[in-house]
Amino acid sequence: MPQKIIKSRVNLLGKYKGVVFGKHSLRVVDKLSSRTIKYSDILGFCTIKRSIFGHNLQVTTDNGVVVISGLSHRKIIPQFHAINRTIQVAIESKITDTYTRFSKAAVGQYLRESTIPDVQAIIEPMVRLFNKTPDAWEIYLSGEPLQKIKKLSELSPISSSANYLRELHVSRVLNARKNFYDSIESNPLTEEQRLSVVQHDDFNMVLAAAGTGKTSVIVAKTTDILERQLAKPEEVMVLAYGNAAAEELRIRSKERLKAANIHHYDLDKQISTFHSRGFQVIAAAQKQSVEEFRKLNMSWLVKKPALLEFINNWLVTFIEESEENLNTFIETVYYAYNPFLSESEEAHQEALKGKKYITLNGVEVKGYQEVLIGNWLFKNGIEYVYEPDYSNRLGINIGFPYRPDFYVKPVEGAISDQIYIEHFGIDREENTRADINKAKYNQGIKDKKALHEKMETDLVDTYHYDWCEGNLEAVLEAKLRALNVVPKPISKEEILDAVRKQDFIKNAVNELSETLSAVRSEAIEGYEIQRRLEVADIQNARSHMELIEGLRQAYVGELRSRNHLDFDDMILLATQYLKEGMFKPEWKYILVDEFQDISVSRWNFLMELLKASGTSLTVVGDDWQAIYAFVGGKLEYTTRFQNNVGNHALTKLQKTFRYNNSIADTAGGFVMKNPEQYQKQIVTHTQVDSSEVFLIDNHDANEKDPNEATLNAVEKAIKEIYADDADASIGILTRYRKSQTAAAQRFTKKRGFKNMKFWTLHGSKGLEADYCFILDLNQGYFGFPTERKENEVVSALMPTVDMYPHAEERRLFYVAITRSKKRCYLVADPKEPSEFVLELLSPEYKINIVSEHFTPEKLAARKCPNCKTGYLKPKKGERGTYVCSTGLGCLTEAVECECCADGLAVKKSRYGECLTCKAKFQLCPRCKSPKITRLGRYGVYVACSGYKGEENEDSCKFRDKLSPKVKGKIGANERIPYSGIL
């Protein structure tokens, strides 16, 4: 371009007097100086605007916008077009460079959430210039450069177009790598699996339902990263939950790499457990070899027997150290339950399931406040009888059964030898527990007081509000002293002997081992322990904290004094070293298997590993199979992944080749009742027209042992399977190891039973068989779902957001059902069916109910009429007596009906009534056992079936004459019918 000078016609407002156009630059001049601008430094096309003083030329550079005003239209227009034609080449070059860098960052690799600002920064300058003057760019650009800048403008902001760009990248990779994805596994990877392999966001979650090939994804993704040279082998890490899972991944990777003819990679070093990787971090931080470090530093306490011995020795030393420590320990022995927190009878029963309250002198009482009274009496040398028969003790008939809470045995100097203690459950406003009739209960208190006054027996009354106010023991002592019952405290050694006799130490050792594991896994101590206990309304939180913290300090002190590590330290100490910068992680890709079971300490370790720049994390798991909360697994890290890490890539593996649609629908529908679980639509390769989930019973008239009856039912079904499928594999799944052992002993000894595996439900994860039988589907402490209460203290220390009833047991049931490839058998006891079985009876599940014993009519005949949730089952040790399957909470009792074959007669207030035939019979007014006839010296008379001999203190000695209405109509040893007037 030849040099051309254009002067401003006016300079009233503008800074510059004119502009000189040269070959490679332009120069703007004013009165005192000039400024040169290279055409290559101009960021966008120049623009002109007309004003009343002429034309204004606008030039944009890195240093801002230059405006030369008042230029002649005739002179500036040719130069304006010429300059834009000149800088067109530079702009096209910049567009090409920008587009190339953009394509590499946004399409050539998976666009990560963290790189979006960087990609936006690449295109922002050019896009901003284009968007300011798009018409000018349309004039001077054409073809490919124009299309590129328009495309970049459309894609801006990148945060809005990120998913489109990711899809573009994924599509290109899937096409280019099709042969690899077709051959890396024995079957071509599914569409969902392929997507899981190629997504490399900062955070990636793969939800893999049972049998959908999560291991295939891990092996394929790791290999794909190396094959595409996204990272070096030492920059890739796969973390497995345990040794078995890690070894399975190693074996599987070897098999698949060999089958795919890939021989230049060995993934063994990339695969490890959390613990072993943590150990490597610690060893490296301490500048030792892993082998030498392990040999010198692994603690003997990692072995369970050694740990229990350590805790036992520490606890004995602790309680022997002082009386204060002994009392602290005793306060932690019992579940301090406040009955007023229960809003219904069912809630009250649920709270007490599996709970027993044994006093220091070995007496089983009904509740926490009663155990406090019993222990106070024992520690103060006051002997007592728990719930004596008031009528028997006085040798009178008061017309109704009455058992005061405690009878104080005669004490020298006391004003009476008939002193009773009643603990009444009311507050100061005479309110009762929510499900108890307030008026009736308070009238009962008045009646009992009146009875004691009438019979001239002394009643010491204490109340629920005494306990709430912290005065229960003080009130009890004051009232006993008023009756000249003076406490004579026994020695600390005597209390220690009592503690030892009742197995309190043994039980506490097992619970403290769980508690120690919890605080180590959660990485908490001191006040935080107490705070969590208080948040969970754990009574005596400070005593619990002092015991737990004392043990924790002693345990950690033992480790540190020997420079030893335990399994928790492998992760906790590694995390600490990472935080302190003693080890610099350099992994670019981290994959985690079984992520649904990750604990707090593992999560913290993982977050420290991710602090290396540019690391991508892929977690693979199934929230439906989270079954390890009892060892610290935190499902919310999976279900609340978005809350923890923000935006991430989510893929659901929903196609399974293991089981059929019937099993998928039943298991999936069941587990998704919990709204906390991810919703998935499982697609099965195998389709069937009818249900392959069978419900069979263990009803066997010739077998009294329900466990043997269950195995009989299983044996019968297996023989039927073999008749149609001789080579079938059989899996026997049990909730408890005892049942697993019994099944294994039964079938391994029998000829003709082959291809059989015996698994606990937890041990079955990842395994499969053609036909599976799920056992232990009954109610109770050893039922499924288990009604064993978790250790409340441990639960408080390991809080969870998953509050759905039996949430983890439901997931365990899902795991159990999905072990079956062809058919799943649920073997249940119709006399006490599992809550899960009752739910599956609903038509929505469409299971195949083979048994006739699960009809509504049959179930109703055994349903507890009081609590509405339990079933009446045989009481151990008392033939013919039945109790509610819910356990301690519901006290319903029944006996076999003599009028019909199958019925059970429930004891009511004045009579017993059969649930089936409605026949009624009389009950003893003292103890509510059935009245029966006995043959005496003078003929038939009425007695109580609760008679256990003259010397037995618990024996009911009720007797009465036989009513004339039934005299001669009834023989000896028969129950007496109830007509409503007898």
Backbone angles phi, psi at 342, to 5 degrees: -85, 130
Query: 1-176: which CATH number, 3.40.50.2300, 3.40.50.10470, 2.30.29.30, 3.90.870.40?
Result: 2.30.29.30
Per-residue model confidence (pLDDT) at position 294: 65
Tokens 């719930």 sit at which residue? 387
Helix pair angle (567-579, 274-285), 10° resolution? 50
Dist. CA 893–CA 875, nearest whole Å = 9
Q: What mean pLDDT comes out for the span 59-63?
A: 81
State the fold for domain 177-191+199-297+567-652. Answer: Rossmann fold (3.40.50)
Torsion angle in degrees (nearest 10) through CA of 439, 442, 447, 449:
-170
pLDDT in tens, 417-426: 999 999 999 9
Ligand-binding annotation for 208, yes or no, is: yes
Ligand-binding annotation for 14, yes or no, is: no
Backbone angles phi, psi at 950, to 5 degrees: -65, -30
Question: Is 873's pLDDT higher than 60?
Answer: yes
User: 378 is written with which tokens?
Assistant: 């024992």
Question: Confidence class of residue 244 from pLDDT cuts 50, 70 and 90?
Answer: confident
pLDDT in tens, 357-381: 899 999 999 889 999 999 999 999 9
Q: One-letter amino acid identity for 359?
A: T
Per-residue model confidence (pLDDT) at position 743: 94
pLDDT in tens, 216-232: 999 999 999 998 999 99
Ligand-binding annotation for 439, yes or no, is: no
In the chain, domain spans: 1-176, 177-191+199-297+567-652, 335-501, 662-860, 872-960
Dist. CA 238–CA 738, nearest whole Å = 35
Per-residue model confidence (pLDDT) at position 664: 95
Higher-scoring residue by pLDDT: 292, 279 = 279
Dist. CA 39–CA 59, nearest whole Å = 10
Backbone angles phi, psi at 471, to 5 degrees: -115, 10
Dist. CA 535–CA 541, nearest whole Å = 10
Spatial strand order of the sheet with 820-828 comes to 756-760, 730-734, 769-777, 820-828, 693-697, 848-849
pTM of the model: 0.79
Ligand-binding annotation for 213, yes or no, is: yes
Ligand-binding annotation for 374, yes or no, is: no
Dist. CA 912–CA 7, nearest whole Å = 119
Q: What letter would DSSP give residue 960?
A: E
Per-residue model confidence (pLDDT) at position 692: 96
Ligand-binding annotation for 47, yes or no, is: no
Could you write out the three-class secondary structure of 711-740? HHHHHHHHHHHHHHCCCCCEEEEECCHHHH
Complete DSSP assignment for 783-824: SSS--PPP-HHHHHHS--S--STTHHHHHHHHHHHTTEEEEE
Question: Is 305's pLDDT higher than 50?
Answer: yes
Question: Confidence class of residue 783 from pLDDT cuts 50, 70 and 90?
Answer: confident
Per-residue model confidence (pLDDT) at position 4: 46
Distance between start and end Cα atoms, the chain: 128
Pairing of strands 820-828, 236-240: unpaired
Ligand-binding annotation for 209, yes or no, is: yes
Dist. CA 893–CA 841, nearest whole Å = 27
Per-residue model confidence (pLDDT) at position 979: 52
Dist. CA 39–CA 698, nearest whole Å = 92
- Tell me if 42 sits within 8 A of 89, measured CB to CB: no
Question: Confidence class of residue 801 from pLDDT cuts 50, 70 and 90?
Answer: low
Dist. CA 346–CA 875, nearest whole Å = 21
Per-residue model confidence (pLDDT) at position 293: 65
Residue 972 CB neighbour total at 10 angstroms: 12
Complete DSSP assignment for 829-898: -TTSB-HHHHHHTSGGG--EE--STTSHHHHHTTB-TTTSS-BEEEPTTSTTEEEETT-TT---EEEE-S
Question: Is 924's pLDDT higher than 90?
Answer: no
Per-residue model confidence (pLDDT) at position 287: 80
pLDDT in tens, 755-770: 999 999 999 988 999 9
Higher-scoring residue by pLDDT: 653, 963 = 653
State the fold for domain 662-860. Answer: Rossmann fold (3.40.50)
Per-residue model confidence (pLDDT) at position 980: 39
Q: 522: Cβ–Cβ under 8 A, 6 or more apart, which residues?
A: 600, 601, 632, 797, 798
Complete DSSP assignment for 441-467: HHHHHHHHHHHHHHHT-EEEEEEHHHH
Question: Confidence class of residue 566 from pLDDT cuts 50, 70 and 90?
Answer: confident
Per-residue model confidence (pLDDT) at position 749: 84
pLDDT in tens, 114-170: 999 999 999 999 999 999 889 888 888 888 999 999 999 999 999 999 999 999 999
- Tell me if 658 sits within 8 A of 687, measured CB to CB: no
Q: Taking all residues of the chain, what is their mean pLDDT, rounded to a whole number? A: 86
Ligand-binding annotation for 482, yes or no, is: no
Higher-scoring residue by pLDDT: 526, 789 = 526
Question: Confidence class of residue 544 from pLDDT cuts 50, 70 and 90?
Answer: very high
> Which neighbouring-strand residues pair with 659?
none
Residue 612 CB neighbour total at 10 angstroms: 15
Per-residue model confidence (pLDDT) at position 79: 76
Question: Is 712's pLDDT higher than 60?
Answer: yes
Give yes or no on whether 177-191+199-297+567-652 and 662-860 have one common fold. Answer: yes
Per-residue model confidence (pLDDT) at position 188: 93
For 49, the 3-state DSSP assignment is: strand
Per-residue model confidence (pLDDT) at position 900: 65
Complete DSSP assignment for 654-669: -EEEEEEHHHHHHHHH
Higher-scoring residue by pLDDT: 850, 295 = 850
Per-residue model confidence (pLDDT) at position 11: 43
Per-residue model confidence (pLDDT) at position 381: 94
Per-residue model confidence (pLDDT) at position 898: 63
pLDDT in tens, 66-116: 887 777 767 777 777 887 888 888 889 999 999 999 999 999 999 999 999
pLDDT in tens, 549-562: 999 999 999 888 88
3-state percent helix, strand, coil for the chain, nearest multiple of 5: 45, 20, 35
Backbone angles phi, psi at 388, to 5 degrees: -75, 160
